[in-house]
Amino acid sequence: MSSLPTWGVVSTIKAPAADILNFAAHHLDLGAHRVHVYLDEDNPQARDHLSAHPKCRVTVTDDAYWSRRAKGRPGTHQPRQTANATHCYNRNPQVDWLAHIDVDEFLWPAAPIADQLAALPSETRSARVHPIEALAPDPDDPPPKGQIWCKGHARQ
């Protein structure tokens, strides 16, 4: 019997510690083998908690980090995201499958992700996922306590 493929996520994040830790916890709860977080701005609280978890890898993208990159620090966040995801991929992400998603996106699978990846033909080199992205709450019409309204997912 063959083992299921491993999977993980990589994200470049500049957000409050609670959002960062919720992002990591959600994907770990889904079965992620690795959660790679590139902190676009150091967040000591999130960094310390992530670093303490055996399945999380955290990189602070400070001046020293960018000085080691041939092209330096890109001015906008999209090229930084791409550079960091590429950096992770090239440095052995320790997973068979790596998803590049944002902190406000989360995977919401109908079946376990590893099972879905295992069902793909062996020659498959990439798979498309449709993440659910949280909506910024409307202060005049917030979601009920304990719920999140999301793009791409019908309200219940």
Q: So where are the chain's domains? A: 7-117
What pLDDT, in 10s, does the model give residues 26-64? 999 999 999 999 999 999 999 999 999 999 999 999 999
Q: What is the pLDDT of residue 156?
A: 43
pLDDT of residue 1: 47
3-state secondary structure the chain: CCCCCCEEEEEEECCCHHHHHHHHHHHHHCCCCEEEEEECCCCHHHHHHHHHCCCEEEEECCHHHHHCCCCCCCCCHHHHHHHHHHHHHHCCCCCCEEEECCCCEECCCCCCHHHHHHCCCCCCCCCCCCCEEECCCCCCCCCCCCCCCEECCCCC
Which parts of the chain have pLDDT scores under 70?
Answer: 1-2, 131-156
